[in-house]
Amino acid sequence: MLGNLKLQVLSSICQIIDTALDLEKALAEVLRILSETLSMKRATITLADPENERLAITASHGLSAEERQRGVYELDEGITGLIFQTGKPYVVPDIRREPLFLDKTGSRHLERGRVSFIGVPITSHGRCLGVLNVDRLFGDEVAFEEDLSFLTVVATLIGQFLSLNEKIKAREQALVRENLSLRSQITREQRGPYIVGKSQAMQDVEHQVSKVAPTKATVLLLGESGTGKTLIARIIHELSGRKGHPFMKVNCASIPENLLESELFGYERGAFTGAVGSKPGRFEDAHEGTIFLDEIGELPLGIQAKLLRVLQDREFERLGSNTTRKVDVRVVAATNRDLGELAERGAFRPDLYYRLSVFPIQVPPLRQRKEDIPVLLNHFIDKVAREYARTVSFTPRALSDLTLYDWPGNVREMENLIERLVIMSDGERVDATFLKPYMNQNPSQTSLHQPDAGGLPRSQGISSLKAMERSEVLAALRRNGWVQYKAAEDLGITPRQIGYRIKKYGLSAVIDHEAPTTPHRR
């Protein structure tokens, strides 16, 4: 009779394998079958959460929603943690006499009399994924061994459900990554948010962005002010699965400290003077989207602890409230300060620094990628032309000054400069004389302070221009896999002209050293 009952249960469980994609529904159905067919009063399926490194109840029977929510364990806590760590079953004849039985759910504190408890590991391919815990199945007239052997078979079927679900999710994620890659390509082609510049440094940044955007990883953008970190944060959001959800920007340096906490996490009525109602914070507004925390190095220490909790547990409380709120938010942070050095001085929490540094991206200053200056100038000229319905261009000498300039304010300074020039210039052609007063003066930039009639010291100007041209040719060759005719097209010159420049600047030795051996280099 008992054998037929077991077969009936196992057969019913096997028939729900087609629901494995909806994991919680499938697991809840397994427990329902056990409850309706056998003498099981309550049961839980507790699975490992790799993100939080904890065990949490995923499906249950006989527990209220509140009791289930309390069922969270450290990986080595209580009987559940012991089973997970050892991969071996555990039998408790009487939970009142078992110190390892924690009853964290609180579901058995009103029970009278003896309650027996059995837990078995849920494994797949030799890896423990979670724990199946139940009260007695067959009653006292049946030996514990009978319960144990049957539950082991059930746990094996659950392990197969989990394995199948993981494989389906992995295939889905692969399709999502492929979709995002195509979206990235289409975005560039359709001139959506994109990184302007062909320098190797910015190609490296673009490569890192394309890798991290589809993931859930926290990103830390490092670099001087004005290098375009906000744009890169926006691109990460646009290329992620969160594209259709909010992108919230918060400048941690621009909001007074006494208001920043309520701005980020919200507040309840009466939390402070003037709080006449409740208001959600930026984290709640960004639910299922991305929040960009600019100037994160300016975040006060008190708020850093609350941010750390959001990063670790995805939960927080509004100001003036004890209610814990859950959010699903991807964090992208940016700073122009050395957070490691701030952490050493005690001005920034080391644990928060390490949490933020999951995927750091260094955004180079404009002076380190001068080959991008011409294309950036054209980009901003086109942008301002659309806004003001007029355009400007530069004389060769003015363009040389702009290229040799170190741009202490980086890309933001360039954008502002182009806008001022469009507003102030009377004609469409800007020369070096008109340009000079609008550029930040820097004593180290001799080219702008000691001009001859042409705007540059003759020997220095010629030398600098030669160095710049050599660098441009070399960069074009690298970008185009050392194929000379492609590099020539990239630079807008003929193959003969690029051959002359390679000879003129002694680049043959560099090509022989760096380029792969191939008959198609020319």
Going residue by residue through the chain, which has 522 residues, state the pLDDT in tens, using 9 for 90 and above: 455 666 767 777 776 665 556 677 778 888 887 777 666 677 888 998 876 778 988 888 888 888 888 888 888 888 889 999 999 998 887 777 777 877 778 766 656 667 778 889 998 888 899 999 887 654 555 676 777 888 888 888 888 888 887 887 777 777 766 666 666 555 554 445 567 778 898 999 999 999 999 999 999 999 999 999 999 999 999 999 998 899 999 999 888 888 899 999 999 988 888 888 889 999 999 999 999 999 999 999 989 999 999 999 999 999 999 999 999 999 999 999 999 999 998 999 999 999 999 999 999 999 999 999 998 999 899 888 888 888 889 998 899 999 999 999 999 999 999 999 988 888 888 988 888 888 865 433 433 333 333 334 434 444 445 666 787 788 888 888 888 888 877 776 777 778 878 888 888 877 877 766 544 444
- The CB density around residue 83, as the number of other CB atoms within 10 Å, is 23
Number of H helices, E strands in the chain: 21, 15
Question: What is the pLDDT at residue 2?
Answer: 52
State the amino acid at position 477 in one-letter form: L
Q: pLDDT by residue (tens digit) across 204-249?
A: 999 999 999 999 999 999 999 999 999 999 999 999 999 889 999 9
Domain 365-456 has CATH 1.10.8.60: yes
CB proximity list for 502: less than 8 A, separation 6 or greater:
473, 484, 508, 511
- Measured distance CA(521)–CA(510) in Å, rounded: 13
Domain with CATH 1.10.10.60 in the chain: 459-522
Residues 366/414, Cβ–Cβ less than 8 Å = yes
- Domain 459-522 sits in CATH at 1.10.10.60
Mean pLDDT of the chain: 81
Question: Rounded CA gap, 319 and 278, in Å?
Answer: 10
Backbone angles phi, psi at 49, to 5 degrees: -105, 100
Q: Cα separation of 231 and 210, whole Å?
A: 14
CA distance 44 to 33: 13
Task: Please state, in angstroms and rounded to a whole number, the distance separating the CA atoms of residues 241 and 247.
Answer: 12
What architecture (CATH level 2) is domain 2-167? Answer: 2-Layer Sandwich (3.30)
DSSP 440: P
396-404 vs 458-479: helix axis angle to the nearest 10? 80
In the numeric block, the tokens 């709640």 are attached to: 284
Residues of CATH 3.40.50.300 domain(s) within the chain? 193-363
Query: How many angstroms separate the CA atoms of 14 and 396, rounded?
Result: 77
DSSP letter at 226 equals T
Residue 470 CB coordination number (10 Å): 17
Q: How far apart are CA 56 and CA 77, in angstroms?
A: 12
Q: How many CB atoms lie within 10 A of CB 319?
A: 19
Locate 96 and state its tokens: 């009142």
- Residue ranges, CATH 1.10.8.60, the chain: 365-456
Residues 130, 49: Cα–Cα separation, whole Å: 9
C-alpha 403/C-alpha 421 separation (Å) is 16
Every domain range in the chain assigned CATH 3.30.450.40? 2-167
Query: Which residues touch 348 (CB under 8 Å, ≥6 apart)?
Result: 297, 299, 301, 304, 339, 342
pLDDT (0 to 100) of residue 449: 36
Helix (H, G, I), strand (E, B) or coil at 219: strand
How far, in Å, CA of 272 to CA of 320, rounded? Answer: 8
CA–CA dist 75, 18 (Å, integer): 30
Cβ-contact 296, 308 below 8 angstroms: no
pLDDT for res 455: 39
Q: In degrees to the nearest 10, what's the CA dihedral of 282, 283, 287, 289?
A: 80
Q: Which fold has domain 193-363?
A: Rossmann fold (3.40.50)
Model's pTM, two decimal places?
0.54
